[in-house]
Structure 1
Amino acid sequence: MSTPFHFTLLFLIAGLLSACQPEVPPTTAKNADLVTPKWQNVNIQFTGPQSSEDAAENPFRDYRLDVNFFLNDSVFTVPGYYAADGDAANSSAEGGNVWAVNFRPAHEGAWRWEAVMRKGEDIVYNDQQTSGERIEVGNQTGTLFVGPPAAGERGRLVRTHPRYLQWAETGKYFLKGGADSPENLLGYADFDGTYRHSNTFRDGENKTEGLHHFTSHEADFTSGSPTWGDGKGKGILGAISYLAARGINSIYFLTLNINGDGKDVWPFVDHKTFDRYDVSKLAQWERVFQHADDLGMNLHFVLQETENETLLDNGDTGPMRKLYFRELIARFGHHRAVTWNLGEENGPNDWSKTHQNNAQQKAEIAWLANNDPYQGYIVLHTHPHEAAFAEIYEPLLGNKQLNGLSIQIGNPYSAYEVTKKWIQRSEAAQSPWIMSLDEVGPWWRGLDPDAGFSPNPALNNQDSLRALTLWGNLMAGGAGVEWYFGAYNENNDLNTEDWRSRDRAWGWTSRTIDFFTEHVPFHEMSPMEELVSAPVRCLAKSGETYLVHLPYGGTASLDLSAVSGNFSVHWFDPAAADGSRLMEQEPQAAGGQLKLTAPGKGDWACLLRKI
């Protein structure tokens, strides 16, 4: 009889004690430790163990910081990183006791965080959450109130469609019009610890001297852009501002080119040490990435080069590669638009002794997909010929963790056929790939510079690349293009210092992207080449919307014999200086063959919508 009384007494005492405790007020914008709009990055710093880049206990391997962010019943875990003194971009510090995390919330509400730091030899590789020794850190817990997004916020670029990415906040679909060159963008003189480890270049390939300065773009620098170290970075920040002002929405850059073409980009303290990271250099990279992010640009991280794809762990996803991926994800994965590209020209070639195989590629893809909390867009790039496509791409068909292909084509005029082929093949494998053209050859030429930057202005391929490559990709259901500058141009893939060398091309590229995103419901449309005769192309939503592209102008016949009703007719001139206006013609009735005559010379596009 005493036991029930005992528990009842304890229950009553506990209830009285609980009643005496003050209620914890709900987290609001007024009492939270931090307040931020939705989608804005929050950098939280923690006071932890004193360390340095060269400490005996390696801060990159022997400590693991993970930060749990809680919202209601859900938890979002983000890897943290060693941040030296917390201001390394400015101070160039190599040591300190500051650790940090980047968190970009996708949901409004009252969040709280808890930092979990553990210490032990090589603990960063140990997936057991209770392994090693738990280390208490300053600022270990806290509250974060996330309010509505700022005006104009697009949110994160996410995969919601078989063929296109989409901005999470606005719902608008994304087509890429980007810069593929210079590939060694991050070989920039104002970054700490940046140098060229060898000046030996392969015979016949492009060459360069010194590091990038982008001096010509210092005039494009805008006040308030995130410089470092008493005003450094104006050249590269100005270059990014220039591209964004021209409507370019993606930039391509290698993060590891040791033994490759440029030999001047890596995240490590030097080009021979792969488990020690240059904290200040990476903090300075982050200033540039944040600037591009704020301007609405996709960050195309190319994780290795064909010459070094077996540099880490002989190509396996072993300790060095896992650490490399984790550091990049922790420091940069939070950005709104991130593409993780497994590497430039991944796979066998004629000049490297070793290469990664499909099993190694699958392991990389799986690691990134399973360890990136933000689920960045994962793509693969290989050499520009059918044999490479068959050897590298075919075995990966059906891989649902690979989001798309980053295609290199040697023949730029094959864009429509290549794009359509791999869309169809991936759809047939029940795992559709998004298809973009990210290196348009041939390798020695690429996209010619504008006339004022060319030693032979009479030789210029811009108009044909626009008509047959950019439009070829888009009309086949592709997701856009990044322009490569070739090896033999004066402003080439390594030595370009002035992006104005392609100013005209940026203009027609961005106008085309704007035309599609503002006027064409391309995410609801598919190629219907049976309605026209090649080389004319047709993208359509049957019975409702038809986009017909005439790459050489002239006339075309659109077969609407199976459709009834009247259609509005608007023409778009891809080469015009002002691409925002459409030229309207008299409506036409369906029910037969519609004759379409381009209003001028060059390539034209005709948009027909049911009235």
Structure 2
Amino acid sequence: MRDNDRLSIYVGSILATTTVMWIFPARALSTTSARPTWTQVTTQTRTIIMQVWKCFAILTAFLAISPSVNPLFGDDSIQGDPITWHPMSICFDGPTASETDSEPNPFLDYRLQVEFKGPSGQTYDVAGYFDGDGQGGANGNVWQVMFAPDEGGEWTYQASFRSGKSVAVSLEADAGTAVAFDGDKGSFVVALRDPSAFGFLKWGRLEYVGGHYLKFRDGPYWIRGGADSPENFLAYEGFDNTPASHSYTDHVSDWREGDPDWNDGSGKAIIGVLNSLAEQHVNSIYFLTMNVGGDGDDVWPWSGKPARKGSQQDDNRHFDLSKLRQWGTVFAHAQRQGINLHFVFNEAEVANKKELDDGELGIERKLYYREMIARFGHHNALSWNLCEEYNVGFDFGADRIRSFADYVQAVDPYDHPISVHSAHDPLAALKFTFGDPRFSLTSVQLNQRRIDTLAEDFREATTNAGRPLPISMDEFVLDVGQKESWKPFDRPVLHRKQKIWPTLMSGGQIEFILEDLLGTESFKTPQQTELWKSLRIARTFMEDHLPFWEMQPADELVDDEAMLEVGLGSGRSFQLGAQVFRKPGEIYAIYFPVATETGRTDLSEATGRFHARWFSPRSGQFEGNPIEVVGGQSIEIGQPPAEPEQDWALLLNAVSKPNQQP
């Protein structure tokens, strides 16, 4: 069939489909024969119509630029929206296989890599994967690559498809033998970034930019405020081949018409979880992608059923295509809801660490990393955490962790942040990552240690090592008198005063391990709702009012203030005073965990006038009348406008100084 014939059929189909979608759903809303107005058409129908016309517009632009090499009219199939930062895929017709085949193994003995070249000369060498029938079926001849373009304009691609024993895990470009569609090439046109797109699709990739906060390429700096529980989040009854540890029934009602789903309702509860978290402004979620031999023994990406306590005889070289497709649906929805994906590859338990290659970087571990990166690495906001508590039980040690990071970094074309989680003294345990370009983020477990000074110590240590890192406090607990120092409790008021504000005002970020641990089924209990509210208020205060990426902690600027006693376990405690975060001479944010006495604030480094306003961490509002103070001296600000026994924040802005994000 000629290209012009294909184009005529394509355009005609679009026009016919649009007409049907306009007339029939619209008339169903009307009690008369007259066609209803545009505003009477359902939101879903309008969205479909606009998507169809958007596709038509993009196709028209594409054909105008590059009609002769358009892969839509070739053997390769492009799917998804060709829009900057939106996921898209290219499917190739290759060897027919099954997810259980071993001679050859379609995951291990074939390797798909696709090189993408962008309008500015940027190049991405992206790993592809075997995708069965392309719809989650185990058998087929579909080989797919996922890609998120970072610029509008014309892109070209060329596929490398090699076969050979264990070729998939080789990093050598000429490993194996060229077969099938090797050398296929084409081009496509990408539309400019859509600033009104959902979630992270409008801002692009979340990246390390040389400081203590990650930043979206085309968007703001980012402060993590996330959920660390349940770590077996993916042990969901709606996923294929998965023990039913979680049902998330409380969140079925949070699913919305038009949201993704599978198997007539199987996806609704976990999609509802993401909707609920997003509505409560939780912006990150932590989860294991493999916990065989760990606490839950209920999450794995492989086909078949591994020994849940772990075994060297498990088949870890064949992957479950239907399950991974369902995971992908959840991850894509999280991105559209503004939720960062905190991938954790390994768990602390010995059997889990030794499940792959007896704990070494061998074929199984490399293949596991490659499959996770190939299938999910195109998402804009994610990080790779190599292991929970890497130094507990079977200690991976610094050298193994470095080798894991090397391989992940080599396979991931997008350079997503890599971290590793530790136990014991976190500064000592993570010191080997400081200054190392493999690592772009921390993952700090501290239990009942003092959180504010530890965040500041990490900032100082990573800066002194020449590579300042974002400081993420990922596992901590309150002292409420429990015997087990590791045991968490949901106490939103204590969390607000002892953890949230002290961490953020010390230049750190935070993820909450919840009281129910693996038993977490709902993210909207009364205690959690109050916790997420406090977290939202604190983050919004920083995001809306502070150039936080340019600020430093400076608690020494306040003295003689009232103190809050905070437990450290085993009968120990410390006195928590004012927390100061400042950009010298321009802006000062001060958090008082108790404001009965606010002492004196040293503004001797600053000149000129400042507007001072009291902010309530409980209501999220500025309260009382603004106060004007003069720098160059120590000042007494006095008590807040009400409830001085509560916690308050004070914001001092130099007159006429801007503080908006770029």
Q: TM-score range by the shorter chain?
A: 0.7 to 0.9
Once the two structures are superposed, residues 58-83 of structure 1 have per-residue CA deviations (whole angstroms, 9 ceiling, x without a partner) of: 01110000011122544311000111
Q: What are the Cα deviations for residues 308-334 of structure 1, in whole angstroms up to 9, with x where unaligned?
A: 223212322221111111100000111
Alignment correspondent of 1:297: 339
1:103 matched residue in structure 2: 147
Aligned position for 1:201: none
Paired AA for residue 570 in structure 1: R
Q: Displacement of 1:470 after TM fit? A: 1.4
Give the one of 312, 317, 330 matched to 1:288: 330
2:636 maps to which of 595, 598, 602: 595
User: What one-letter code is carried by the residue in structure 2 that aligns with 1:119?
Assistant: S
**Distance 1:347-1:610 versus aligned 2 partners, 3 A rule:** same
What is the letter of the counterpart of residue 295 of structure 2? D
Q: 1:499 to 1:143 in 2, by over 3 A?
A: same
Q: Distance between the aligned counterparts of 2:226 and 2:431, measured in 1?
A: 27
* Counterpart contact for 2:614–2:622, Cα < 8 Å: no
| Paired residues of 1:545 and 1:610 also in contact (CA < 8 A) | yes
Task: Give the distance between the partners of 1:121 and 1:562, measured in 2 at CA.
Answer: 66
Q: 2:453 aligns with which of 395, 417, 421?
A: 417
What secondary structure does 2:539 align onto?
A: helix
Q: Shift in Å at residue 137 of structure 1?
A: 3.0
Q: Secondary structure at the match of 2:317?
A: strand
Q: Distance in 1 between matches of 2:174 and 2:510?
A: 46
Contact 2:112 2:160 in 1 (8 A): yes
Q: Which residue in 2 is equivalent to 1:477?
A: 507
For 1:252, the equivalent position in structure 2 comes to: 286
1:106, CA displacement in angstroms?
0.6
Tell me the distance in 1 between the aligned counterparts of 2:287 and 2:385.
10
2:189 paired residue among 145, 149, 153 = 145
Q: Does 1:217 align with 2:264?
A: no
- Name the residue aligned to 1:397: 434
Long gaps (5+) in structure 2: 1-62, 73-77, 197-201, 307-313, 479-483, 560-575, 656-662
**Aligned counterpart for 1:313 among listed residues 349, 357, 360:** 357
1:366 aligns with 2:406: yes
Determine the structure 1 residue equivalent to 2:19: none
In structure 1, what is the Cα distance between the partners aligned to 2:488 and 2:640? 26
Relative distance call for 1:25 and 1:518 in structure 2 (3 A) is closer
Amino acid at match of 1:594: I
Cα drift, residue 583 of structure 1: 4.9
| 2:654 alignment counterpart | 610
Equivalent in 493, 501, 524 of residue 463 of structure 1: 493
User: Counterpart in 1 of 2:109?
Assistant: 62
Superposed displacement of residue 135, structure 1: 1.9
CA distance in 2, matches of 1:161, 1:470: 24
- Equivalent residue of 1:587, what SS? strand
Q: CA deviation at 1:445?
A: 6.8
Counterparts of 1:81-120 in structure 2, within 5 Å, are: 81-88=129-136, 93-120=137-164
Q: CA deviation at 1:131?
A: 2.9
What letter is aligned with 2:279? A
Give the letter aligned to residue 540 of structure 2. D
Q: Which is bigger in relative contact order (C-alpha 8 A, separation at least 6)?
A: 1
User: Is 224-233 or 287-296 further displaced after alignment?
Assistant: 224-233
Shift of 1:176: 0.9
**Cα drift, residue 28 of structure 1:** 7.7
Cα distance in structure 1, aligned partners of 2:474 and 2:378:
23
State the match for 2:534 in structure 1. Answer: 508
Match of 1:235 in 2: 269
Within a 5 Å distance, the mapping from 1:476-555 to structure 2 comes to 476-478=506-508, 480-486=509-515, 492-501=516-525, 502-533=528-559, 535-555=577-597
* Offset, 1:406: 0.8
Give secondary structure in 2 for the equivalent of 1:438. Answer: strand
Distance 2:626 2:488 in 1: 34
Residues 492 and 534, structure 2, Cα contact 8 Å, conserved in 1: no
Name which of 421, 426, 430 aligns with 2:466: 430
Aligned with 2:124: secondary structure?
Answer: strand
Gaps of 5+ in 1: 1-23, 196-209, 450-460, 487-491
Q: Which is further off, 363-372 or 40-49? A: 363-372
Matching of residues 42-191 of structure 1 within 5 Å:
42-55=88-101, 56-72=103-119, 73-88=121-136, 93-137=137-181, 140-152=184-196, 153-170=202-219, 172-191=220-239
CA-CA distance at 1:434 after TM superposition = 1.3
SS in 2 for 1:285: helix
Distance 2:172 2:617 in 1: 56
- Give the whole-Å Cα distance in 2 for the aligned partners of 1:245 and 1:542: 35
Contact 1:447 1:465 in 2 (8 A): no
Q: In the alignment, residue 274 of structure 1 is paired with which amino acid?
A: N
Q: Cα–Cα, structure 1 residues 580 and 42, in superposed 2: closer, same or farther, change >3 Å?
A: farther
SS where residue 516 of structure 1 aligns?
helix
**Aligned-partner residue type, residue 630 of structure 2:** A
In structure 2, what residue type is equivalent to 1:240? L
* Residue identity opposite 2:404 in structure 1: E
Per the TM alignment, residue 265 of structure 1 is displaced from its structure 2 partner at its CA by: 0.4
Aligned residues of 1:46 and 1:139 also touching (Cα < 8 A): no
Distance 1:164 1:583 in 2: 32
Q: Tell me which amino acid in the other structure corresponds to 2:189.
A: F
Note the C-alpha offset of 1:301.
0.4
Paired with 1:400 and 1:139, the residues of 2 have a C-alpha distance of 33
Kindly indicate whether the alpha-carbon contact (under 8 Å) linking 1:252 and 1:300 is maintained by their aligned counterparts in 2: yes
How far 1:340 sits from its partner (Å)?
A: 0.6
Moved more, 137-146 or 252-261: 137-146
1:609 shift after superposition = 0.5
For 2:625 and 2:215, the matched residues in 1 are separated by 29
Q: Retained in 2: the 8 A contact 1:440–1:446?
A: no
Contact 2:161 2:183 in 1 (8 A): no
2:25 counterpart residue number: none
Aligned to 2:612: 569
Contact 1:46/1:98, CA 8 A, preserved across alignment: yes
Which position in structure 2 is the counterpart of 1:331? Answer: 375
TM-score under structure 2 length normalisation: 0.79
| Aligned 8 A contact 1:76 1:373 in 2 | yes
Between the aligned partners of 1:505 and 1:593, the Cα distance in structure 2 is 35
Question: What secondary structure is seen at the aligned counterpart in 1 of 2:82?
Answer: strand
Aligned equivalent of 2:39: none
**Residues 1:30 and 1:130: Cα distance change in structure 2 (over 3 Å):** closer
Structure 1, residues 559-604: CA drift from partner, whole Å, max 9, x if none? 112322110112221122xx25565422112232222323323211
- C-alpha deviation, 1:32, in angstroms: 7.1
1:260-301: CA deviations, max 9, x gaps? Answer: 111100111132221111111111000000000011111000
TM-score, normalised with respect to structure 1: 0.85
Determine if contact 2:89/2:145 at 8 Å carries over to the other structure: yes
CA offset at residue 113 of structure 1? 1.6
SS at 1:344's partner residue?
A: coil
